[in-house]
Chain A
Amino acid sequence: MSTTEATVVTVRIPTPLRSATDGQSTVEVEGTTVDDALRALVDEYPDLADNLYNEDDELRQFVNVYVDDEDVRFGDGVNTKLESGSEISIVPSIAGG
């Protein structure tokens, strides 16, 4: 048994982005913070990058991230700590004219 167990979390992928994750609705990645986990996700599935991050390499404004039903904006944002088994959801907010 390893002395440093990895923090493995599940990321729920919104329907339209599943074409970038080989059709998978959930993906397991390692990461101790939301930022770590999302960067690992994008490393594994690079086609997600432009849809999640803007030109300044920040999460796009309409991209909301939940960890186990909590919106991270009301906590520590992308620095929110993760535990093994946490579920991250990528949730768009929608607007237009």
Chain B
Amino acid sequence: METTEPVLNDIRAHGADAYPEEGCGFLLGTVTDDGENRVVTARRATNRRSERRTRRYQLTAEDYREADQAAREQGLDVVGIYHSHPDHPARPSETDLEDATFPGFTYVIVSVHDGDPKNLTAWTLAPDRSEFQREEVALHALEAA
């Protein structure tokens, strides 16, 4: 994925605000000609899980439609999802893999330890859906974004 530091900071801040629960949201942006997701905005959403929000997150189809509408109004698309891992490493869990949606989305995970955001990583589901593969996070200066 390509993005800017302020977008990553927004994701980190949401992870800290949601602690000890998982925070989650959508990544809005564009797809470059070579298939990279360029994230312009991180859009906060509400974790819809009714229980165990410290270990699980959920976004409904209606949440997706709202984010998609907001993206289109800005000439953007939903290109990914982010969520936080409270007191847990910034890598996909087994649950993340079981519940994974489409290859092509960027999944950003930020670890939050004792309320402080730490590592932030990006992943994409393998085309055969067998695993998440690490995505490089390329930072651009603001004016280039």
Determine whether the beta carbon of B59 is less than 8 Å from that of A95: yes
Whether A16 contacts B103 in the complex (CB less than 8 A), given A94-B81, A97-B96, comes out as yes
Interface SS of chain A: mixed
Interface SS of chain B: mixed
Smallest Cβ-Cβ distance to B100: which chain A residue: A96
Q: Would you give the 0/1 interface string for A60-97, flagging 1 where the beta carbon is closer than 8 Å to chain B?
A: 00101010000100000000000000000101111111
Determine whether the beta carbon of B104 is less than 8 Å from that of A17: yes
Q: How large is the interface on A (under 10, 10 to 19, 20 to 34, 35 or more residues)?
A: 20 to 34
Determine whether the beta carbon of A15 is less than 8 Å from that of B78: yes
Determine whether the beta carbon of B102 is less than 8 Å from that of A17: yes
Does any Cβ of B come within 8 Å of A51's Cβ?
yes
Does any Cβ of A come within 8 Å of B143's Cβ?
no
Minimum C-beta distance from B23 to chain A (A): 12
Among A17, A50, A95, A96, max chain B CB count under 10 A is at A96
When chains A and B are docked, how far (Å) is the Cα of A66 from the Cα of B68?
14
| A residues lining the B interface (CB < 8 Å) | 14-19, 50-51, 62, 64, 66, 71, 89, 91-97
18 contacts between A and B (CB under 8 A): A15-B77, A15-B79, A16-B79, A17-B102, A19-B35, A19-B104, A62-B101, A66-B61, A91-B65, A91-B68, A92-B64, A93-B63, A93-B64, A94-B58, A94-B59, A96-B57, A97-B57, A97-B99
